[in-house]
Amino acid sequence: MGQVLTPEQMPDAVIATLNKLNRGKWIGEMTDLQEHVGFNKICKEKREQQKSGRGITVRYVMDHNHSAEHVGLFGTMEFSRDDAMVEGTVPWTYTDGKMVFDEREPDMNSGAEEVVNLVSIENSRMLTSIAELSEEDVWGIPETESTNDTPFGAEYWITKHASLGFYGGNPSGFSAGRAGISSGDYDRHKNFTGAYSTVDDTATTGLVYMMEMAADKTRWVASAPEPGMGRTGYTRGIFCNWTTKNALKNVSKANNDSLGFDLSTQMPVFRGAGIQYVPYFDSKSDNPLYMVDFNHYYAKFLKNWFMKRAKITRLPKQPHCFAVLVSMVWNIVCDDVRRQAVFYEA
């Protein structure tokens, strides 16, 4: 039997073990999702930091100033200016994961190896819980307009509509609009939408046809320099469930007569963007497909609050127990909804 740890040594042993763990990676059967695509793409890879502030401010200029005119020699001009700037607010939301140990547990009294095994398992379970909840947050929507503890996900920022074009307005139940800016007041403040009936390039009803149209019409090129909130250098992403991905893959196979002996092909690609399978979408009966421009859609975290681990603490009402807490202060931001698109099967 290995050396037994004293109660005073146990918190230090847990800390030492956590420092040795390969954080963020785990193997197990703790979830039905094969991969947490939204958490990995939006929260880990595409995240931004904000140093301070009571929330996140998004700003949109809703119109040009209509000042251009043709003027003859010695003609007169009138000068005026209206305010086209609109500000919205995205509140901080708070996500916590936790694990707890009792110093009287057998594994905590059986030596260093057993402590490592116990802490490894509980750490993995906690991190998986955070990833699972965050995956729902990335693709979802708060329950009501007054709900302020849930991040604003894809269903909030990129709304569905049956018509083909820029019809994605206020989320259902959110009359004030996204970040407090209503599409009813600003008609351009809408994302691209459509409802498809076939996965092919049939005009007006085929998913591939709609994706082609969206790719052209959401690719805005500023005619004058913009100091906008958007970032540069990030790719676009296309996300769907397995049924839709497989159907698109079959379209790709049908268009390619030189696949060789491999019955499968690599991930289908559309205009250079990989079409990625999102296991979370398998529960969606309307088979949605999102086209996301990551220059304008990302998670924003309060500085140093992505998966921040708090100091290990003894619980005052459970004196034999000590807890580890991992926290995030964050939300999801879309600073240009007109560059985003969503389609669903009607």
Does any domain span residue 73? no
Does any domain span residue 131? yes
Does residue 186 contact residue 193 with C-beta atoms inside 8 Å? no
Does any domain span residue 188? yes
Residue that has been written with the tokens 């708060």 in this structure: 142
Compute the distance between CA of residue 151 and CA of residue 135 in angstroms, rounded to an integer. 11
Sheet holding 289-293, edge to edge: 165-168, 191-196, 341-345, 289-293, 236-240, 273-277, 269-270
Contacts of 105 (CB under 8 A, 6+ apart): 118
What are 82-106's pLDDT values in tens digits?
A: 888 899 999 999 999 999 888 787 6
Mean pLDDT for the stretch of residues 105-111: 63
Whether the predicted pLDDT of 232 surpasses 80? no
pLDDT on residue 22: 47
pLDDT on residue 111: 63
Question: How would residue 346 be classed by pLDDT, with cut points 50, 70 and 90?
Answer: very high
Provide the domain count of the chain.
Answer: 1
The whole domain housing 282 covers 10-22+35-62+86-221+232-345
Q: For all residues of the chain together, what is the average pLDDT?
A: 85
Tokens at residue 23, please? Answer: 């954080």
Q: How much of the chain exceeds pLDDT 90, in percent?
A: 54
Does residue 330 contact residue 93 with C-beta atoms inside 8 Å? yes
Does residue 195 contact residue 165 with C-beta atoms inside 8 Å? no
DSSP type of residue 225: -
Does residue 307 contact residue 159 with C-beta atoms inside 8 Å? no
Give the lowest-confidence range in 185-199, 256-270, 279-293: 256-270
Does any domain span residue 1? no
Does any domain span residue 279? yes
Mean pLDDT for the stretch of residues 27-43: 84
pLDDT on residue 31: 82
Does any domain span residue 289? yes
Compute the distance between CA of residue 85 and CA of residue 60 in angstroms, rounded to an integer. 6
- Compare 292 and 222 and report the one with higher pLDDT: 292
Whether the predicted pLDDT of 233 surpasses 70? no
Nearest CA among 292, 229, 224 for reference residue 88 = 229
- CATH number of the domain at 40, please: 3.90.1690
Whether the predicted pLDDT of 66 surpasses 80? yes
Coil, helix or strand at residue 3: coil
Compute the distance between CA of residue 344 and CA of residue 117 in angstroms, rounded to an integer. 45
Residue that has been written with the tokens 């990551």 in this structure: 294
pLDDT on residue 251: 87
Does any domain span residue 4? no
Tokens at residue 58, please? Answer: 């998004």
What are 243-273's pLDDT values in tens digits?
A: 999 999 888 878 765 555 555 656 788 888 8
Which helix H or strand E contains 252, and what residues bound it?
helix 242-254
Does any domain span residue 246? yes
CA atoms within 13 A on the CB side of 202: 8
φ, ψ of residue 104 to 5 degrees: the values are: -95, -5
